[in-house]
Amino acid sequence: MTDTDEQLAAGNGLLDRRFFLRAGVAGGATLLTASASAIEREAWMKVPGSAMSEAGASSSYEAHVVRAPIGSAPGTVGTGVSRTPLQYLDGIITPSRLHFERHHNGVPAIDPDEHRLVIHGLVERPLSFSLDALARYPTVSRIQFLECSGNSGAAMEPEPVQGSCASIHGLVSASEWGGVPLSVLLEEAGVKPGAKWLVADGADAAVMSRSVPLDKIMDDAIVALYQNGERLRPSNGYPMRLFLPGWEGNMCVKWLRTIKVVDQPAMTKDETSKYSDLQKDGISKLFTFPMGVKSVITSPSPGLSMGSPGTYQISGIAWSGAGKIARVDISTDGGSSWAEAALDEHVMSKCLTRFRSAWRWDGGPAVILSRATDEVGNVQPTRESVLTDRSPTTFYHYNGIQAWQVAKDGEVTNVYV
């Protein structure tokens, strides 16, 4: 009997979620002993380092950590997506440079001094706001996820798509979003009776537009000016974007230019012909707004092969458009048995939550899965369950359980269970 047998939490070597906490002290002591034995300097310790710089950059050794894969419609370079490299990240904050992109006709080069946000339609006073004006308004800031509702659509393919975690699930990111509650601006404009929706337009070449119910707007929508402490980057809507916590990314209109208050949805191209879900019976669902409860193991995952048998950390992200993540369960035996993962300290509403489990891999083939549950009791469904009523070509709003297969040689691949 080894000293970890008593800590088994589920089949095929999955250990108790507190395993790493208990193991931590001994590991630290070993390191200290090793480094105290001699004094040495590596090459970079023998010369002064480089100068201070006005803006930081990643290590040249991390040059592979980029938004990939990137795809754009035929004949275009800015009508498509770039994906967050989830498999290389830890924690819950997505570095702004790695936040996924979904653009409809490129990133506009907006002069902030010329840009205005106009609120009009069913309001007492149509109003125009400059960026400088909005920057003087009381600001709220929250750490929340943003997910394209086309994320993970590759899981609808009949055979498992072989690619990185990012290639399948990389259209989700999380940031600290700061900005002005849109409710405050609408109060200033004076919403008229009968108003139920607004139509948000972007200042991009596609004049991207979505209709948004007013009750969501009054609940928690912001006109975001800041992302992770700095002004929005152009690829995320500089100088201002709509941000709707927990709702599909397409609605969070970037480069926000106009808001027209109306009594009905505009039935724009994106909300009817694109981000709707065709069912097998030929009926389509419109307006599926909150993103479903979901999780994915980011490590190990395809491209991050396992080494020799031994103890590994299984780590990933979970999120829900309905609120906080309550728990994440892990299986290392293809779903026969499950054990609860540890959640990092930061568990916030409509935000990514980092989960971790310890796994003593015996070197044999294994299938690992994660299953998230949110605070209102929604449980992440199986792929089979998601597919039940859907047309085979419907790929939006997919939140099924992801399975990764670990082969004997440690290679990790996408698999359906």
Sole window of 37-45, 50-58, 212-220, 322-330 interacting with other proteins (rule: CB under 8 A)? 212-220
DSSP per-residue string spanning 12-67 = TTBBPTTHHHHHHHHHHHHHHHHHTS-----GGGSS--PPP-SS----GGGTT-S-
* Binding track over 16-45 against other proteins, x by CB under 8 A: ------------------------------
- What residues numbered 92-111 form the site for other proteins, per CB under 8 A? 104-105
| Tokens encoding 208 | 């991207």
Q: Which of 313, 337, 335, 348 is nearest to 381 (CA)?
A: 335
Query: CB under 8 Å to 23, separation ≥6 — which residues?
Result: none
CB of 281 to other proteins, least distance (A): 6
CB of 158 to other proteins, least distance (A): 11
Which C-beta is closer to other proteins: that of 206 or that of 379?
206
Query: How many CB atoms within 10 Å of residue 415?
Result: 16
If one asks whether residue 119 binds other proteins (CB under 8 A), the answer comes out as: yes
377 phi and psi angles, rounded to 5 deg:
95, 0
CB of 277 to other proteins, least distance (A): 8
| Tokens encoding 175 | 């940031």
Could you give the CA distance from residue 401 to residue 294 in angstroms, rounded to a whole number? Answer: 7
CB of 207 to other proteins, least distance (A): 4
* Number of residues in the chain: 417
Could you give the CA distance from residue 235 to residue 251 in angstroms, rounded to a whole number? Answer: 15
Q: H or E element: which one contains 189?
A: helix 182-189
- What residues numbered 122-151 form the site for other proteins, per CB under 8 A? 125-130, 133-134, 136-140, 142
CB of 11 to other proteins, least distance (A): 38
- Site for other proteins (CB under 8 A): how many residues? 78
- What residues numbered 222-251 form the site for other proteins, per CB under 8 A? none
- What residues numbered 260-319 form the site for other proteins, per CB under 8 A? 260, 262, 264, 266-269, 272-273, 276-278, 280-289
Interacting residue with other proteins among 23, 66, 93, 120 (CB under 8 A)? 120
Angle (CA) 180-186-190 rounded to 5° is 150
Could you give the CA distance from residue 202 to residue 195 in angstroms, rounded to a whole number? Answer: 21
Angle (CA) 334-320-353 rounded to 5° is 75
CB of 119 to other proteins, least distance (A): 7
If one asks whether residue 258 binds other proteins (CB under 8 A), the answer comes out as: yes
Could you give the CA distance from residue 312 to residue 314 in angstroms, rounded to a whole number? Answer: 6
Could you give the CA distance from residue 403 to residue 367 in angstroms, rounded to a whole number? Answer: 6
Q: Is 196 helix (H, G, I), strand (E, B) or coil?
A: coil
Which C-beta is closer to other proteins: that of 6 or that of 215?
215
Which C-beta is closer to other proteins: that of 115 or that of 360?
115
Interacting residue with other proteins among 220, 248, 329, 374 (CB under 8 A)? 220
Which C-beta is closer to other proteins: that of 142 or that of 231?
142
Which C-beta is closer to other proteins: that of 154 or that of 205?
205
- What residues numbered 45-84 form the site for other proteins, per CB under 8 A? 73-76, 79
Which C-beta is closer to other proteins: that of 272 or that of 413?
272
Which C-beta is closer to other proteins: that of 186 or that of 372?
186
If one asks whether residue 112 binds other proteins (CB under 8 A), the answer comes out as: no
- What residues numbered 342-401 form the site for other proteins, per CB under 8 A? 391-393
Which C-beta is closer to other proteins: that of 251 or that of 326?
251
Q: H or E element: which one contains 329?
A: strand 325-331
Instruction: Tell me if 199 sits within 8 A of 217, measured CB to CB.
Output: no
- What residues numbered 153-182 form the site for other proteins, per CB under 8 A? 181
